[in-house]
Amino acid sequence: MTDPASRTPGTARDGRLSYAVFQLARVHRGHAAAMLRDMNLHPGQELLLMQLFDRDGQTQSELLETVGLDHSTVSKSLRRMQEAGLLTREPADHDRRVMVVHLTDKGRALREPIAQMWRNLEDISVRDLTREQIEAFTATAYAVERSLRKHGRAQGE
C-alpha cells in the first residue's frame, strides 16, 4: 500500500499537515455519513440531536451557536428533523419570534444509537493506534483547532 504522504500533490507539499487534516476529515466524514444514513439521518443532524440530548428545549439560536453550522444549514436540518418526527419547534413564551426546539420520543430514542455510532466510529478510527498516540493526536487536533480559531480568517471573509 502506498504511503498516503507520498500522494500529497506538489502544490500542497508546503502544507502537508493541512492536506493530511483535509484528507482525514473527508474520509472520517464519509464513514460517519454512511453510519448516519443507516439511521435515516443526514450529517449534522446528529450534532443537533446531541446538543438536545444534553439540554432539551434550546432555542434555534442557541443550537446554532453550539454546533458551529451556518444558519441556513441549521434551519433546514431542523425543518427536516421536525418533518421526520424527531423534534418540535414552538414559539417561545417570552418572544414569539424565537423558536424553542424540543425532542419528541422518537428523537430521544436516537440517543443510544447515536452514542453507539460514535463508539463504532472511534473504534474504527483508532484501531491501529496506541493509547498514547490517541491522546497525543487528540491534544494536537484541539491545538490546531484553537490556532485556526485564533489566527485564521474570520468566518465569512
Q: How far apart are CA 111 and CA 98, in angstroms?
A: 26
pLDDT in tens, 42-71: 999 999 999 999 999 999 989 999 998 888
pLDDT grade for 2, boundaries at 50, 70 and 90: low
Q: Is it the case that residue 157 has pLDDT exceeding 50? A: no
Q: Which set of grid coordinates corresponds to residue 93?
A: 413564551
What is the 3-state secondary structure of 48-115? HHHHHHHCCCEEHHHHHHHHCCCHHHHHHHHHHHHHCCCEEEEECCCCCCCEEEEECHHHHCCHHHHH
Which residues, other chains included, contact 32 with Cβ-Cβ below 8 Å and sequence gap of 6+? 43, 117, 121
Q: In this predicted structure, what is the pLDDT of residue 4? A: 65
SS3 assignment, position 8: coil
pLDDT in tens, 117-140: 999 999 999 999 999 999 999 999
